Chains A and B, each alone.
Chain A
Amino acid sequence: MRTALVIAGKDLRQRLRDRSFFLFALALPLGLAVIFSLVLGDLDGESEVFRYGVVDEDGGELAGTFTDQFLPAVASSGVIDVEPVESVPAGRQRVDDGELAAVFVVPAGFSDAVQSGQPVTIEVIGDVDATFGVQVAQALADSYLADVASVRLAVAAAAASGSTTDPAVLAERAVAVPNPLPLVEDPARSRALDSTTYFSAGMAVFFLFFTVQFGVSSLLEERATGTMARLLAAPIRPVGILVGKLLTSFAVGVLAMGLLVAATSLLLGASWGDPVGVAVLVVSGVLAATGVMALVASLANTTEQAGSWQSIIAVVMGALGGAFFPVGQAGGLMSTLSYVTPHRWFLQGLADLSGGGGLGAVWLPALVMFGFAAVTGGIAILRGPKLVRV
């Protein structure tokens, strides 16, 4: 262990003299977090309220349920603001003018179609510059239509069982039946990161993968510059050299993340959550990043090759893992694939923490990232003899 500490001490001294460390570890992530927050989110910590319009071309009872009950209920949460719009052209104009993020259009014949079992839609006219707002509007429309489908299913089931009650009455009753599964809020799961914290964390974990490159990659550099010969000639075991390099990556990673957590909290007002939980996530995230980058370096033959491969892996995993945008909200394959990256688990853990959870909320993301570290780092260590040689 003494050997590893001596080597890590030397490497850290070298790293801290290298201005690129501060560029990748602090300046770039901090700068990009500011830019992303300004462009895509708010910096004052308050949630954006999406402004919507609604055009009721149907005028029926079920259209009224959407315009007068469903949307106002959502609006009462403060997330959206809804106002009636007299016509589709007027709504489209207001969207084009940027006054509204989207306009819901309940088409004529909507209520009749629902009662007669015909397919129904609620059209969403969106502002191309308000992607999130349109996504939220579409999700609300889909949610309401899903409720309608549930009610129709309930009515159909009643009719099939021989009920003689008027279907309209049955529908009203179905709507009125309380949800048999009470929705209990799970603070750790129901909360999401505010945009400043999200982009701060996203950029931090993205650049972490660049920051920790130095450690194991420097083995290739030691070989290229000839210093590896002197290390191997010393009365130390080769594994001590490898452990020293891994230790350097870990120390540099923790230092960079610590600086970023502090800087984004102080300068941008990011809310990282419970310090102990954040520390666990940072440590497990740094270990995972170190393991992944060590594995990539162990497959390369030269410093340049390792740098190229590591950059590609860092960018692809960062994008896939949601460092730039919340891929989890995209759903489908992208969301599923994001779970093969430590980035997603790191951000997931922070989101869970933001819900007020402590250590209990981050154990799964931390465990998964430890797993990443164990598997990738383990393979890198097994490939150690290929790296620690002249």
Chain B
Amino acid sequence: MQPPVLVCRDLRKSYGELRAVDGVSFSVAQGETYGLLGPNGAGKTTTISMIVGILARDAGEVIVDGEPLTPSRVKVKSRIGYVPQELALYPDLNGRENLRFFARLYGLTGQQVNRRTDQALEIVGLADRAGDLVKEYSGGMKRRLNIAAGLLHDPKLLVLDEPTAGVDPQSRNAILESVERLAGEGIAVLYTTHYMEEAERLCDRVGIIDLGQLRAEGTRRELVSLIGERDRVSLDAAGDLARAQAAAAAVPGVQTAEAGDGRIELLVEEASTALPSILTAVSGTGVTVRSVTVSEPNLEAVFLHLTGKALRD
């Protein structure tokens, strides 16, 4: 396990009587993508805002790359790349001018500014449109430039606050690919979303947040096992299904097996491990398997179980 790039301890923030963030603690290691998953209003953006230092916290501690982030230690912020939920860009400047401005704000000078600007534009695939005014960009292009602005200073921690909000599927995919590539290069990523699919695709670990509290965290598998959910395997088969059902039920890891209407339905602890044995056992009974469908329990189910409501409520 790599040392943590980000450590948050007991973060708290209230607005009057409302506890927006109530004792949130987690850490993100180098090269790890950590997702904060929760519905709108759960406290994700408030948590992020305290981590990047744009919102004063009532209590708690933020440590970035081993150094505490306090109002008097602004230099620590240079290790964080921040991609806010809103498009934090100047529409009347072109893409390159936007990036050059933010690069200078982060202390880059001279050739560093040009080099890093070009690199960031390449990463998000906007090098050929760098001279166009941002107000002429599509929504997806603006989102990508928004991400590029967070990468200019080569941060150790990249914080993305719902970076795919309101973009078309193609742009969303391009953004997710960029994040995957960055994580692959060793950068620590903190990613907030209310899209379960994004959290499952990108995140090594996920923190489920609701009503300002971190309700659970772990890998997807850990979270799923936490609530006792199992993988579902469905076999479309022909032949003596009752015999095949008995054979499948005897395979280690299979919890339940039911047959009927040309199908055998199984609940399995871990489908990826047990599936070869299940297919061997079923085929051994002379039953022909026409197709196999594996459904793994998702984070939506975990969220529903933990909070009693759907992610997009």
Question: Contact flags (1/0) for A1-44 with B, using CB distance below 8 Å?
Answer: 00100110010011001100000000000000000000000000
- Which listed residue, A3, A17, A229, touches B105 by the CB 8 Å rule? A3
- Tell me whether B92 and A233 are in contact (CB under 8 A): no
Contact B74 A235 (CB under 8 A): yes
- Residues from chain B with Cβ under 8 Å of A6 in the complex: 101, 104-105
Closest chain A residue, CB of each to CB of B97: A13
- Mask, B76-106, CB within 8 Å of A = 1, is 1110101011111110110001000110111
A235 in contact with B101 given A14-B92, A227-B90 (CB within 8 Å): no
**A231 to B105, alpha carbons, bound, how many Å?**
8
CB pair A234 B105 closer than 8 Å: yes
Closest to B51 in A: A233
Q: How large is the interface on A (under 10, 10 to 19, 20 to 34, 35 or more residues)?
A: 20 to 34
Closest residue of B by beta carbon distance from A224: B86
With a CB–CB cut-off of 8 A, which chain A residues contact B75?
235
- Residue of B86, B87, B97, B106 near A234 (CB, 8 A) is B106
- Interface of A with B (CB < 8 Å)? 3, 6-7, 10, 13-14, 17-18, 225-227, 229-237, 390
Tell me if B298 is interfacial: C-beta within 8 Å of chain A: no
Contacts A227-B90, A237-B74 known; list 10 others, CB within 8 Å.
A10-B93, A13-B97, A226-B87, A229-B84, A232-B54, A233-B77, A233-B82, A234-B102, A235-B74, A235-B77
Q: Least Cβ distance of B150 to chain A in Å? A: 8
Q: Which of A7, A10, A230 has the most CB of B within 10 A?
A: A230
Contacts A6-B101, A6-B105; A230 near B78 (Cβ below 8 A): no
Cα–Cα, bound, A360→B76 (Å): 51
Give every chain B residue within 8 A of A235 (Cβ-Cβ): 74-78, 106-107
- Contacting residues, chain B, for A232 (C-beta < 8 A): 53-54
How near does chain A come to B89, taking the closest CB pair, in angstroms? 7
- Chain B residues with CB under 8 A of A17: 92
Going nearest first, the 3 A-B pairs with the smallest beta carbon separation are: A226-B86, A230-B88, A232-B54
Residues of B contacting A390 in the complex (Cβ-Cβ under 8 angstroms): 49, 54-55
Name, among A231, A232, A235, the residue most crowded by chain B CB atoms within 10 Å (CB to CB). Answer: A235
Across the two chains, which residue of chain A brings its CB closest to B106? A234
Write the chain A residue with the least CB distance to B84: A229
- B74: chain A residues at CB < 8 Å are 235-237
Q: Check B88 against A10 for contact (C-beta < 8 Å).
A: no
Q: Does B149 interact with chain A (Cβ within 8 Å)? A: yes
In the complex, whether B8 has a CB less than 8 A from a CB of chain A is no
Number of A-B contacts (CB under 8 A): 65
Q: Which chain A residues border B235 with CB–CB below 8 Å?
A: none
A14's contact among B77, B80, B90, by CB below 8 Å, is which?
Answer: B90
Chain A CB within 10 A, most for which of B75, B84, B87, B105? B105
B52 within 8 A of partner (CB): yes
Cβ contact within 8 Å between A226 and B54: no
- Chain A residues closer than 8 Å to B54, beta-carbon distance: 229, 232-233, 390
Contact between B52 and A10 (Cβ–Cβ < 8 Å)? no
Residues of B in contact, count (CB < 8 Å) = 29
CB distance from B12 to the nearest CB of A (A): 18
What is the bound-complex CA distance between A227 and B55, given in angstroms?
14
Q: Which residues of chain A come closer than 8 Å to B92, judged between CB atoms?
A: 14, 17-18
Does A227 contact B88, Cβ atoms closer than 8 Å? yes
Chain B residues in contact with chain A, CB under 8 A?
49, 52-55, 74-78, 80, 82, 84-90, 92-93, 97, 101-102, 104-107, 149
Residue of A nearest to B109 (CB): A2
CB<8 Å pairs between A and B, sample of 13: A3-B105, A6-B105, A18-B92, A226-B84, A227-B89, A229-B49, A229-B82, A229-B86, A230-B149, A232-B54, A233-B53, A233-B80, A235-B74
Q: Please report the C-alpha to C-alpha distance between residue A232 and residue B229 in the assembled complex, in whole angstroms.
A: 43
**Alpha-carbon distance between A10 and B78 when the two chains are bound, in angstroms:** 20
Residues of B within 8 A of A229 (CB): 49, 54, 82, 84, 86, 88
A281 → chain B, closest Cβ, in Å?
Answer: 32
Cα separation A185 to B49 with both chains bound (whole Å): 67
**How distant is A202 from chain B, measured CB to nearest CB, in Å?**
32
Q: Known: A13-B93, A233-B54. Is A226-B101 also a contact (CB below 8 A)? A: no
Nearest opposing residue in chain A for B86, CB measure: A226
How many Å from the CB of B239 to the closest CB on chain A?
61
Chain A nearest CB, measured from B255 CB (Å):
48
- Give bound CA distance, A134 to B106, whole Å: 65
**Contact residues in A for B97 (Cβ distance below 8 Å):** 10, 13
Bound complex: CA of A226 vs CA of B93, how far in Å? 15
A10-B90 CB under 8 A given contacts A233-B82, A390-B55: yes
Q: Could you tell me the distance between the alpha carbons of A6 and B100 in the complex, rounded to whole angstroms?
A: 10
A244 smallest CB distance to B (angstroms): 10
Q: Return chain B residues, CB-CB under 8 Å to A230.
A: 82, 84, 88, 102, 149
Cα–Cα, bound, A305→B284 (Å): 78
Bound CA–CA A17/B91 (angstroms): 12
Cα distance A233–B50 in the bound complex, in angstroms: 10
B106: which A residues are within 8 A, CB to CB?
Answer: 234-235
Beta-carbon contact of A225 and B82 below 8 Å: no
Give CA–CA (A390, B85) in the complex, Å.
Answer: 13
A235 to B84 CA separation, bound complex (whole angstroms) = 16
B105 in contact with A225 (CB, 8 Å): no
Q: Which residue of A lies closest to B75 (CB)?
A: A235
Name the B residues within 8 Å of A13 (CB-CB).
93, 97
Interface centre among B78, B80, B101, B102 (most CB of A within 10 A): B101
Given A10-B93, A13-B93, A390-B55: A234 in contact with B88 (beta carbons within 8 A): no
What is the CA–CA distance of A6 and B103 in the complex, to the nearest angstrom?
10
Q: How far is the CA of A232 from the CA of B56 in the complex (A)?
A: 11
- Chain B residues whose CB sits within 8 angstroms of the CB of A225 once the complex forms: 86-88
CB distance from B134 to the nearest CB of A (A): 11
Of chain B, the residue at the smallest CB distance from A17 is B92
